[in-house]
């Protein structure tokens, strides 16, 4: 069983319009909604890969009830969300069908009271002993301490559970110091953490700050990884066009499943890049195209070197 943590759970709503123009009214051609937030997106991909997943975080209000109702029909996903008084946020993605571009609107999330945070910490500790790995994903809702992820990383390490951290800003800076097994920032998040805009140098610096392994997303150009076992670059066979929403979460699922399955790093990275590209190609934001994934996985180019570091 794998655990994903989404402290700022969401209901993801996607609108499709023919041509998105500022200051204009638009007729929506299609509406879809599904449980969201980075950790829930990761869980959905993990389940599609055949892994059993438990999701935890917060859910509250009418939106939270919709999220939990929809999770009951998600195969392979167990709901362990913790109730809060405030309402779960919504995220709105507006897809322009002509250009393929997506405009994203993200609400801030509910304010979490100290007692609610304490209840979550207790639930998290209870879940860890039965988990093979844990992913800590996304932004922090109001009321949650900025050092929250650092504490959750330490708790997982104390329980002997490998932990992947995917967040940004001060939450990432503090979380790295707690020594997670993997962090997965994008290039901008990594530059903010380290002060370096040269990705290879920045990944090495992030390891010195505490992360055992660093996997940096380079957008359409793939992933760069530095670990104790070596350094690698994984590149998709060609640039793909579509909706990038959820592509980074699919990459996290690829890395985490590869960790649990004890795959060599090049295989983990090839899986992560193929899943990410297949997510961009999928017609629904945040899903991945299984046929595209299978076709792309064998064509991802992975180069690098094994080290004894």
| Angle value at C-alpha 286, between 99 and 26, nearest 5 degrees | 40
Query: Tokens 């064509």 appear where?
Result: 299
- As given in the structure block, the two tokens for residue 195 are 């002060």
- As given in the structure block, the two tokens for residue 130 are 């039965």
Annotated catalytic residue within 181, 249, 267, 289: 249
| 55/77 Cα distance (integer angstroms) | 7
CB 7 within 8 A of CB 138: yes
126 assigned to active site: no
- Give me the torsion for CA of 244, 248, 249, 250, rounded to 10°: 80
| 20/213 Cα distance (integer angstroms) | 40
| 309/301 Cα distance (integer angstroms) | 23
Query: CB-based contacts of 13: which residues, under 8 Å, 6+ apart?
Result: 31, 32, 33, 90, 91, 92, 93
Active site residues: 249
């Amino acid at each position: 069983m794998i655990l994903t943590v989404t402290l700022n759970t969401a209901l993801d709503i996607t609108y499709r319009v023919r041509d998105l123009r500022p200051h204009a009214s638009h007729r929506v051609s299609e509406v879809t909604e599904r449980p969201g937030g980075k950790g829930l997106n990761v869980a959905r991909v993990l389940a599609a890969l055949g892994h059993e997943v438990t999701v935890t975080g917060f859910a509250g209000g009418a939106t939270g009830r919709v999220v939990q109702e929809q999770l009951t029909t998600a195969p392979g996903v167990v709901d362990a969300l913790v109730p809060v008084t405030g309402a779960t946020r919504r995220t709105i993605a507006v897809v322009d069908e002509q250009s393929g571009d997506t405009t994203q609107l993200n609400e801030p999330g509910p304010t979490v009271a100290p007692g609610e945070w304490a209840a979550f910490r207790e639930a998290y500790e209870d879940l860890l002993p039965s988990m093979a790995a844990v992913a800590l994903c996304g932004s922090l809702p109001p009321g949650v301490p900025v050092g929250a992820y650092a504490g959750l990383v330490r708790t997982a390490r104390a329980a002997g559970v490998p932990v992947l951290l995917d967040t940004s800003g001060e939450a990432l800076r503090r979380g790295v110091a707690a020594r997670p097994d993997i962090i997965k920032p994008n290039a901008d998040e990594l530059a903010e953490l380290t002060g370096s805009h040269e990705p290879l140098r920045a990944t090495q610096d992030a390891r010195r700050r505490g992360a055992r392994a660093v996997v940096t997303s380079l957008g359409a150009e793939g992933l760069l990884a530095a670990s104790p076992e070596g350094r690698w670059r994984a590149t998709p066979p060609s640039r793909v066009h579509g909706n990038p929403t959820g592509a980074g979460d699919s990459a996290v699922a690829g890395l985490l499943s590869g960790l649990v399955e004890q795959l060599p790093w090049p295989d983990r990275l090839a899986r992560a890049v193929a899943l990410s590209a297949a997510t961009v190609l999928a017609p629904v934001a945040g899903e991945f195209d299984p046929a595209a994934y299978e076709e792309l996985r064998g064509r991802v180019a992975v180069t690098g070197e094994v080290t004894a570091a």
